[in-house]
Structure 1
Amino acid sequence: MNRGVDASPADRLAPRTGATTAGVPLAFNREPDPRLRDWVSRSMVAVAEGPADVTLEGYLCNDASYLRSAVDVDWIAMSREGPVPVRDRTILCGQHTRSWKLEYRGGIKVAGLMLRPGALRSLFGLDEKANADCIRMIEETGIPDAEVTGLYRAGMEPADWLQSLEDWFADFIACKAVAPPDPLAQAIELQAFADPNIRLDDFAERVGVSPKQVQRVAQRDFGMTPKQVFRRARILDLAARICGVADEEEEEILLRFFDQAHQIKEFQTFFGVTPGAFKRTRSNLFTLSLEIRQARRLELLERIEPGALRPWMREPILHAVA
């Protein structure tokens, strides 16, 4: 079996749901169905054909919990609890406090829902802190895997698969009948997108609550402190810029660090390598993941219109749901 870093030439993967101007595969991602928006912040589907005899290596580092269905390809995702093999399964992924390696073979075929902070706990009964950097099979929450993974049928169009997943989740939410996530958690997330260098006391004053309340909600709904949430946002914005899926006009992303030594130290904490080494071996899979986050971020900050062609994109491949 051959092995390689998925930063090697983009012709290793043939994208079906979008690509950057450099040909790196992208997910089709958009605002979720209106029925889901209290609980889900982004809906995505990614399909890219790849060689079955080559194991590619990439990264994952998500600032949100996810429900993901992965079919027809082999994953081995590293987690705090060790390697997790995934094929034809639906998984629940906790938020990441750092990057984790992922090996995959056969390309990319995944549909997913990015959950709002606190939704993993409210809907699935999984504590955000206990499940940070962890992966759970959906049947661990009492939901039969076939009920969700079985939504995909051979030859199904990516757009139809994503819609089926959203329809299932809308029914699931209706049956749960629980209160939506805390608006304060969403305010913390938006602040991380806008200016992660803000002082905690200043943020608390801006939203009209005490710093202790911000700390409590962040620990409950993100599984980490506000400082950790903002620190992660700085690094992911920088990583997106390195990977070519950021607005190049946002030069302030580079000014969020005291100096270059601070930037390198922070980056190494998350990725284990310097920004320069990361750029030389950047991961196609991680670029895809970062692009989902950046698209949502720029839409929330009203820098781009929902559904607009993003600065780093080719003409979208997936016209059916654009």
Structure 2
Amino acid sequence: MLSRTYRPSADLAPFVRRFYVFEAPLPDAMVVEDFLLAETAFVRCLLRGDWAGETGPGEWGTAGKTVFFGANSKPFKVRVKGGFAVTGFAIRPSGWHVLFSEPHHMVADKMLPLQLLWGQLADKMFEDVAEAKDDAGQLQAMENAIRKRLALFQPCDADTQMARFEIIARTDSTIRIEEAASQVGLSVRQLERRCLAAFGLTPKAILRRSRFLDSATAMRGFSSPSEGELGALRYYDQSHMNREFRRYTGMTPKVFASAITPLQTAGLKLREESRFED
């Protein structure tokens, strides 16, 4: 799999975390089943390939060519047949309220046509992305669409407290909720309400997922935590670790360690590469 990531322009950085391009020149008959566990909502333009998501037990469906994915509280199974090419962007929780009308918890764990949320702007963005000749053109098309969306919301300011909590969740996943709330200047109840609206999950669920992702990233070899950091990430006992891995992957840690998960693994690599960025 070939992956390329790009930072947004300065004016969009408070709202968009990253742009990315994924390409995989796979045999036409090859089927890859994997799962996503996204910390933030993201949008994908499916330029090539036969993509589907599990919409129910054993049921697979699509959401068109311009797809919105809500943040995940559990693994979201996906399947692709043959080679594929996608481009898209990850949305910062601090920018949620100026890009979407709905609170995030209403669309968490869902795959939807972006048209349901952005109307005709989603169609226009896909047309421009598909016509682009290179990565730069695709990024420009997406940035233009995002700016048009932002223009609908005035004032267009990012949520600085949610931006702070995003950093905390990515860099200190074992922090106590009370301490995190204090650091962002909110009460615990206020933090819970704001996180549901911006992240799609409660603060506890966000940190729990982040702790698992920190552990999975280390297991995949993309990070090298110190002994102290690794000790903080360790679960109480093997039973606890098994429960968390089953919750977020559907596998035991032993099975996950040797499982082939190209899409999920690419996400872990990208997460680690951008973990300490503002």
TM-score of the pair, normalised by structure 1: 0.78
Give the whole-Å Cα distance in 2 for the aligned partners of 1:108 and 1:78. 18
Quote the sequence identity (%): 27
What's the CA shift for 1:106? 2.5
Structure 2 residue runs of 5 or longer lacking an equivalent are: none
CA offsets per residue over residues 208-228 of structure 1, 9 Å max, x none? Answer: 322221111112212221110
What's the CA shift for 1:205? 2.3
Contact 1:26 1:288 in 2 (8 A): no
| Residue of structure 2 in register with 1:50 after alignment | 26
What's the CA shift for 1:107? 2.4
Give the whole-Å Cα distance in 2 for the aligned partners of 1:223 and 1:235. 17
What's the CA shift for 1:172? 2.9
| Residue of structure 2 in register with 1:72 after alignment | 48
Which amino acid in 2 is paired with 1:164? A
Give the whole-Å Cα distance in 2 for the aligned partners of 1:169 and 1:144. 9
Contact 1:84 1:135 in 2 (8 A): no
In structure 2, the residue corresponding to 1:113 is in which secondary structure?
strand
Which amino acid in 2 is paired with 1:267? F
In structure 1, the residue corresponding to 2:128 is in which secondary structure?
coil
| Residue of structure 1 in register with 2:241 after alignment | 263
Contact 1:77 1:101 in 2 (8 A): yes
Tell whether 2:17 aligns with 1:41: yes
What's the CA shift for 1:153? 3.6
| Residue of structure 1 in register with 2:123 after alignment | 146
In structure 2, the residue corresponding to 1:277 is in which secondary structure?
helix
The worse-fitting range, judged by mean Cα deviation, of 204-213 and 251-260 is: 251-260
Q: Given the superposition, is the C-alpha separation of residues 215 and 49 from structure 1 closer, same or farther in structure 2, using an over 3 Å criterion?
A: same
What's the CA shift for 1:57? 1.0
Structure 1 residue runs of 5 or longer lacking an equivalent are: 1-24, 301-322
Give the whole-Å Cα distance in 1 for the aligned partners of 2:192 and 2:63. 34
Tell whether 2:175 aligns with 1:198: yes
CA offsets per residue over residues 157-206 of structure 1, 9 Å max, x none? Answer: 23432232223322332344343342221222111111111111122223
Give the whole-Å Cα distance in 2 for the aligned partners of 1:36 and 1:181. 10
Report 1:77-156 matches (<5 A).
77-79=53-55, 83-86=60-63, 89-117=65-93, 119-141=95-117, 142-153=119-130, 156=133
TM-score of the pair, normalised by structure 2: 0.89
Contact 2:51 2:80 in 1 (8 A): yes
Give the whole-Å Cα distance in 2 for the aligned partners of 1:106 and 1:155. 22
Q: Given the superposition, is the C-alpha separation of residues 217 and 44 from structure 1 closer, same or farther in structure 2, using an over 3 Å criterion?
A: same
Give the whole-Å Cα distance in 2 for the aligned partners of 1:295 and 1:43. 13
Give the whole-Å Cα distance in 2 for the aligned partners of 1:85 and 1:222. 24
Which amino acid in 1 is paired with 2:239? A
- Structure holding more helix per residue: 2
Which amino acid in 2 is paired with 1:49? P
Contact 1:80 1:134 in 2 (8 A): no
Tell whether 2:214 aligns with 1:240: no
Q: How many pairs align?
A: 274
Give the whole-Å Cα distance in 2 for the aligned partners of 1:80 and 1:184. 35
